[in-house]
Each structure stands twice: as C-alpha cells, then as structure tokens.
Chains A and B, each alone.
Chain A
Amino acid sequence: MGEIISIDRLLKSASALQTGTAPWAGALREQGREKFSRLGIPDRRRESWKYSDLALALTKAPKGTSVSRVPLALDGSYLAVFENGVFDAARSKLPADCIVPLAAVLADSASPFAKTLGQINGAEQTGHAILGLNTARMEEGFVLRIPKGETLSNPLHIRFNWPAEETADVDGRHVRLLVELEEGAEATILETHRGTPGFATVVTELRLAQTAKLTHVRIDQLGGASRQTAITLGDVSKAAQYKGFYLSEGGHFCRHEALFELTGDNANVEIDGAFLVTGESHCDNTTVITHAAPHTTSRQAFRGVLSGSSKSAYQGCVKVRPEAQKTNAYQMSRALLLSREARIATKPELEIFADDVKCSHGATAGELDMDALFFLRTRGIPEEEARAMLVEAFLQEALDTIERADLRDVAAGTITDWLSLHATEVTHAG
C-alpha cells in the first residue's frame, strides 16, 4: 500500500471485463471508462471534493489503527455477504426469486434492468468521476427486485467484510447494487461495512416506484487505514418513501454520498446520520436531494462526534427545480468537537428555483455544553460520567429516528461499542 494510484492503474482491468457482457452493458461500461479518464481522480480543486481529497488519500500511505470489531448481526434477517468485494453465495441466505447476480444482468442482452442500471438520478451521474470508475469496473453485486405490492418478509442484511489492512487490494474493488421496488413494494435493508479496504467504491442505485417504501440502515465500521467512497443514488417517485440512517466511524478516506431525486408528487426522503470519528480519521457525508416534483418533502439531520485529530465534512445540498412547488425541505447538522485538533467543515447548500417552498437549514459546531455539564456535576455525577452521558444523549436523538427496534439496537450497539472503545477521548477534555 501507499503507491501512487493512477487513473490507468484503476482502469487497467476495465477492458478485460468487456468479454461476455451484453452490448448495452458494454456501452455503459465504456461510457463510465470514458467519463473517469476524462474527469480523473477527484481532488480538492473540484468543488464537491474540497474537504475530501481522494487523489491525495490515494497517494499517501494510509495511517490509522484498526480495532477488531464484533461482526454485526440482525436476527432473522436475510443475508448477502461480500468478502473483499466478492459476493459469497455460500455464506449468504437470500430471499427466493428476487435477487439476480450482477454478472447475469450484465450478460443478458434483453435484461429488464438495462433501463435502470446506471440511469438512476441521471443529473447527478453526469460529471461524477467515481460513478464512472465504478461503472467501468463493476463486476460484483446484485439486483434486488421486489414485485408490485409485495413486502420483503425479513430485512436484508448486506454485509461487506473487507480484509485486514495487510491484505488489502489497492487497485480497487468496485461493487454495484441495484434495488428496484415496484409499486407499493416495501423492504428493509441493513448495510454494514467492516475491515480495511485498500480502495473500494460501492454504488447502490435505488428505484422506488409509486408508494414504495424503503428503510435503509448503513453502518460503516471501517479500520483507520481504509479508503472507501460509497454512493447511494435514489429515484423516489409518487408518494414513495425512503428512510435512511447512516452511521459512520470514518477511515483514512471514508465518504458516503446520498444523491436522491424526488420525481413524483408527495415523494418523501428522510435521512438521519451520525458520525463518530477519532484518531486521524476522515469522514465525509455528502447529500444532494433534488426536488423535481410538487409537494415533495425531505429532511436531513446529521450529528457528529469528533475527537483526536480527525477531519469530517458534511455537505448537504437541497435543490428545488422550478416545477417542484410546495416543496418542504429541512437540513440540520450538528457537530460536537471533543478535542483540540478535531476539525469539521459544514456546507449546507440550498439551490432553489421555485417560489412556493419552505426550505431551511441549521448548523452548529462547538464543544459540550458547559452549563449542562455543570448541572450534572451539581447533581453529584462525576465529570467523566457526565461527559459520556451528554455525548450519548446527543447521539440518542439520531437513534430515536430508527423505527424498527431490532435495527435501532444494532445501531445503538455500534455506538455504545465505539464510546467504550474510545472512552478516554469521550470522557476527558483533550
């Protein structure tokens, strides 16, 4: 690890992948290759990568320690396991009849998914270098399709086990998932990442047809030396609902983008997020929510707990197209800085082209509330304990937004685990 990763090196095997793919998939891949070689590896001169310089992260030898974590499990769920970015059928327990491996989709010249794969939220796909790279190199992954009116009986747990630092592959692993919920279909997905990928891109495309409902909980527990950039793209149509919860512990380079387009009346997107970062880790949550139809609503709330000399960023953009009258959009970002060296950059952006809208955002950054701390101490609670309580309470508000108790427990467990692993940073003023 630590070598300079070039565009050519990242695209090296892309042409070899062309054998056996259907013409439409070949064309898609070629477009991706062309896009990535034209745009290059994003660096901080590119506005949306200002706080996350991927080119630099790929050149610098990653630093950071990893603590082995207990694999997350959700009782009674379906399971899809990816071992170092490769789908592991033997260890997976998939729901019947609704999952097609990506390779099969790409080889099928008459695939029904040809019109959605690589096409979700097209406006945000243009000019996105990493999407180009992922499309050029996608090999592993699957398509999940829930037919009209059906509900996936149990949550699907997509578990990514990235290898330990020593065996990580710097040339990159590129996974692509497509989830299609037909009219009125419902599903719950738990996506977890563990280990230390040398460089991984994970792209998830979501198509929610009318009145479909998707609950998506994403937990990153990556090692301090990991480099990952994940992108979730969504097309949320009429009266459909996406409810996301993103929890991240950062990494050497750890970025997640949620790029959603609300394309039908009354579509709704709600995203809550929490990030807990320490050491020299980096964590970037970027969202672009495009309101493209009237009466659509979106809500985003991100909370960060930052210690060590970590660097985090939250960039949230709400776009309201001229036709999206009666939009209601809300954004909130709060950062709690626990140490002297921790840094946060926040950019809550509004781009509004319709007049009858209600859009607002709020952002705060600061340390623990001294008044609250004082109050707890006057009640006889020792300082360390009081600090821990306040940090927990700060995060609890995010957790409360997860409706399903079992999912909430998984997320809460991850937070508790992190807080106990980093108890000193949390309980002592650094």
Chain B
Amino acid sequence: MTQEMETLEEFAGQKYKYGFVSDIESEFAPKGLSEDVIRFISAKKDEPDWMLDWRLAAYKRWQAMREPDWAKLHYPRVDFDDLYYYAAPKSDKTSPKSLDEVDPELLETYKKLGIPLSEQEILAGVEPKNRVAVDAVFDSVSVVTTFKETLEEAGVIFCPISEAISKYPELVQKYLGTVVPVTDNFYATLNSAVFSDGSFVYIPEGVRCPMELSTYFRINASNTGQFERTLIIADKNSYVSYLEGCTAPQRDENQLHAAVVELVALEGAEIKYSTVQNWYPGDETGKGGIYNFVTKRGDCRGDHSKISWTQVETGSAITWKYPSCILRGENSQGEFYSIAITNNYQQADTGTKMIHLGKNTKSRIISKGISAGHSQNTYRGLVRMHSKADGARNFTQCDSLLMGSDCGAHTVPYIESRNRSAMIEHEATTSKISEDQLFYCLSRGIDAEEAVALIVNGFCKDVLQQLPMEFAVEAQKLVGISLEGSVG
C-alpha cells in the first residue's frame, strides 16, 4: 500500500465532526400522519383556517400519490407512519427577548456548530462589522431571529414562515405554492401538508437587502422528520443573497427531511441562494444518516430577473434534490453551481432543471460530482427550450471525479429543444484524479492529503467562487475534509 493510500484511508475513516445530540425538551405531535396530526400542527401554530385547509387539501392529495422510484437511489422504504411530524422546543410560546432567556443548551449547540463569530456576536447583542442575519431553525421552530430592526428599516421582511402566515397573510397567500404547487411531487405535497417552519423573506421594490440572510437548519430530536418551508420573494429591482447551512447530530436511525424552497423573482430582481449541506451522512458502513428529499425551485417571473443556486452537498445518506429555475420573464437568467461529494455509502441524485419559457433567457449549469468509497453520485438535469424561448441560451458542464474503484458516478442529462434559435451546449466528463497532478504536488513536497485537497478544490473552483465569502471558506475546508484520503 502506498503512503498516499494509507493517509487517504485514514481520512476516509474520519468521524463526523458535528455528531452530538443536545438534550432539550421537545413537544411532539403523536407519531404517524393523519388529519388529526395536521390539525394539531396547525393549532400549535395558531394558524388561520385557510392555512389548515391548504394543509388538509395537500394531505388528501398526498394519500393518493406514490413515492417516486426513478432516481438511482437505493434505500429501505420510509415508513411514513413511524415518524413524528412535529417537535418543538418547549419554549416556543415565550420567545426569548434577550440572550439570557435563550436556552443555554441551544447556545452551546450553536457553538458546537461553529456558527461564525460575527453571528455569535449578533446573538450576544454586539454590533458586528460584517452583518449577517440569522433566522435559526432549531428543530422546526424559529427560536431566535436577529437583526430585525436593520432589516425593518430597509423594509425587508425576514421572519419564520409561521409568523408571516399571521402577520402577512396576503403575501403568503399570494405566493405560497405558486412555484412548487401543492400537487408537485410526493415529497413537496407531504411538506405542504405538514411543514413545520422555515423562513419567509420579502424584499420590497428597489431594495438591495442590506445584509446576507442566513438560516442554520438543524435536525435535533430523534426520529423527527423535518419539513421546512422557505418562501423568498424579491420584488421589482431588488436583490437578496440567502445562505442556508446545515449540520445534524449523529444518530443511528435514518431521518427524513423533505423541505420545500420557493423563490419568486419579479422584474429586474435577483436572488442568490447558497447552500452548504453537511448533515450526518451515516457511518463508514452506511448505517444511519439523513434522507434528504428536497424540492427547490425558483421562478424568474419578471423580465430581466435572475436566480442563482449554489450548493455544496457533502452530507446526508440519501440526497434527492434538484434546485430549478423557471425562466418565464424575458431576458431572465438562471444559474446552478453545484458540488456534490459522496463518500462511504452515501448516495446522491442531484441536479437541476432549467425551463426556458421567455425570450432571450439564459442559463448556466456547472456541476462537479465527486464520489469516493462505496458511494453513488448521480447528476440528473433537464434543459428545456420551449417554443417561445427565442434566442435562449444554455451552457452546461458536468464533471465527475472518481476516487476508488467501488464508487459510481452517473450523468443523466435531458436536453430538449423546441426552438430553433435556442442554443444549447452541453459537455460532461468523468475521470479519476490525475496521477500526474498528484505526482507533481508530491514532488514539490506537498503531502498526499494536502495535494488531494488542492486538486479537488481546483476541480471545484468554478463553483466555490460563486459562494459568498462566509461560506466559501467553510466550504473549501469541507471539500478538503470530505475527500482527502479517498484516492486509490
């Protein structure tokens, strides 16, 4: 065995850094899913009747739906009756007015999660230099929302969606479910029925959101599926950058996670949505880990609007996620930058859909898939040019890197054109890490693990560059950690 391989294997054996369970009393809905559970969730949140009706309609629809099986994913069937659909920290009715009122365990959790210092300062009430607003979702219910004032000054609404339902019902009713309809797919419909909480963002016309908005999602109580619902609306000529980061405690049973994210960009608006997903991927033997079935979709409703998705997916046992853009407005733009890393027995089936409806719409897809260990990594994407999408353009590049002989890398792109003047370019490559590059680094005295990190980061550069500063550093580290050690 070569020296590199040893270091690599050592690395592959690394334990999940964020595996811990914090003990905070939770309030559960009864196990399983029924109309009563939905009524319970809705009542817990003091929701208006229209919201309850919406949930119940979704539940009715969901009962008639079948779990999709087309993805290249293999996992034991999820028993939807063996899950808790609602768990909230006990303190949800008396939201803390100051840091002292926040459960110390929660603060401890944030510390362990490595929430950036600036955000801890926010939590501590210190005026920070680099401002980031955090709407922390701790097991389904937003506990702390900061920076409200600064945002309010700008007219930006950034609050838990449960709050938005009671405070801004007209906005929620106008946009909720218009991008991802209730009937969209099995998991999105389930989410519509039982969603617990999530973020709501509204950027008024002409406003450039004064700070980057950020949510740390975290699954905590054992056996609780978490069903976030995020809705972001960027009104005319506004701009917002939203960061989503995830880590989860280590546990043995698989956990279900089915989030829905809806983005609406009106005329001239731009939404940048960045994700770093680092949930518990299961142990070296493939035991445990999060099941992540997410529906994310953005609607470029207005002319000259832009939606950009950037994701770094390193966690979860199963990833089923296709952040998409509907390019409705003329000259609208969609972007998808993705790094998906799988190791051990992880499986990821991820990609994007770019639906070009309007004239001169543009989209760009850059996907980097890296598989190591016994993992399977699939890029699945759709580019569709509708007949009215004159002059539309798409460029797609999907590259896969294989490390070790037991993993798989798959590419399943669908390219459909119904418009002659639409130009589509697609390219994909699959290869293993270059021995020449590795040798070069080693000959310059760089050790094996560092060399691999260097090469992989180079491979992912196009995507990493798209991340906001706060995330870029974390993501770069994550890429290195997830992969060093897997070269065979």
Residues of chain A having any CB pair with chain B under 8 Å: 47, 322, 325, 335, 337-367
Contact = CB atoms under 8 A, between A and B. Distances in A.
A325 B404 CA distance: 11
A361 B411 contact: yes
Contacts of A350: 400, 409-412, 428, 430
A352 B402 contact: yes
Contacts of A348: 411, 413, 415, 426, 428
B378 to A, nearest CB: 9
Given A352-B408, A364-B426, A343 B416 contact: yes
B429 A360 contact: yes
Contacts of B429: 358-360
The 8 closest A-B pairs by CB, nearest first: A355-B402, A337-B420, A366-B423, A346-B415, A363-B426, A350-B411, A359-B430, A360-B429
A362 B396 CA distance: 10
B407 interface: yes
Q: Which secondary structure characterizes the binding site on chain A?
A: strand
A381 B432 CA distance: 48
Given A350-B411, A351-B410, A361-B411, A367 B420 contact: yes
Contacts of A367: 420-421, 423
A261 B468 CA distance: 46
B431 interface: yes
A257 to B, nearest CB: 18
B424 interface: yes
Contacts of A47: 70
Given A349-B411, A362-B426, A365-B417, 19 more contacts: A47-B70, A325-B405, A340-B420, A344-B416, A344-B417, A345-B415, A345-B416, A348-B428, A350-B410, A350-B430, A352-B409, A354-B402, A354-B405, A355-B402, A360-B430, A362-B427, A365-B385, A366-B420, A367-B423
Given A340-B387, A357-B402, A352 B430 contact: yes
Nearest to B405: A355
Nearest to A356: B432
Given A340-B420, A363-B424, A366-B424, A357 B413 contact: no
16 contacts: A322-B405, A337-B419, A346-B413, A346-B416, A348-B411, A348-B428, A350-B428, A350-B430, A354-B405, A360-B428, A362-B426, A363-B415, A363-B424, A366-B420, A367-B420, A367-B423
A47 to B, nearest CB: 7
B312 interface: no
A361 B411 CA distance: 10
Contacts of B415: 344-348, 363, 365
B386 to A, nearest CB: 10
A415 B423 CA distance: 25
Interface in B375-419: 385, 387, 400, 402-419
B425 A364 contact: yes
B288 to A, nearest CB: 24
B30 interface: no
A353 B371 CA distance: 10
A309 to B, nearest CB: 10
A355 B413 contact: no
B391 to A, nearest CB: 10
Contact of B431 (A337, A358, A362): A358
Nearest to B416: A345
A366 B422 contact: yes
A353 B387 CA distance: 38
Interface residues of B, number: 36
A272 to B, nearest CB: 19
Contacts of A345: 414-417
A347 B379 CA distance: 12
Q: Which secondary structure characterizes the binding site on chain B?
A: strand
B210 interface: no
A95 B411 CA distance: 45
A361 B420 contact: no
A355 B417 contact: no
Contact of B423 (A338, A349, A365): A365
B424 A365 contact: yes
Contact of A322 (B406, B416, B424, B430): B406
A365 B416 CA distance: 9
B480 interface: no
A352 B400 contact: yes
Contact of A351 (B70, B408, B417, B420): B408
B407 A355 contact: yes
Contacts of A359: 429-431
Given A47-B70, A352-B400, A354-B405, A347 B424 contact: no
Contacts of A353: 407-408
B483 to A, nearest CB: 14
Given A340-B420, A350-B410, A361 B428 contact: yes
B430 A338 contact: no
Nearest to B401: A355
Given A366-B423, A366-B424, A352 B417 contact: no
B318 to A, nearest CB: 18
Contacts of A339: 420
A7 B405 CA distance: 44
Contacts of B413: 346-349, 363
Contacts of A322: 405-406
A318 to B, nearest CB: 9
B204 interface: no
A366 B411 CA distance: 22
A342 B424 CA distance: 15
A260 B449 CA distance: 40
A363 B427 CA distance: 6
Nearest to A369: B423
Contacts of A344: 415-417
Contacts of B426: 346, 348, 361-364
B124 to A, nearest CB: 48
Given A360-B429, A361-B428, A355 B418 contact: no
B160 to A, nearest CB: 40
B488 interface: yes
A118 B56 CA distance: 53
A355 B427 contact: no
A315 to B, nearest CB: 9
Contacts of A364: 423-426
A277 B424 CA distance: 20
B428 A357 contact: no
A361 B427 contact: yes
A415 to B, nearest CB: 21
Contacts of B70: 47
Contacts of B407: 353, 355
A347 B410 contact: no
Nearest to B425: A364
Contact of A355 (B404, B410, B411, B419): B404
B413 to A, nearest CB: 6
Nearest to A350: B411
A289 to B, nearest CB: 14
Contacts of A340: 387, 419-420
A72 B402 CA distance: 48
A366 B430 CA distance: 25
B357 to A, nearest CB: 15
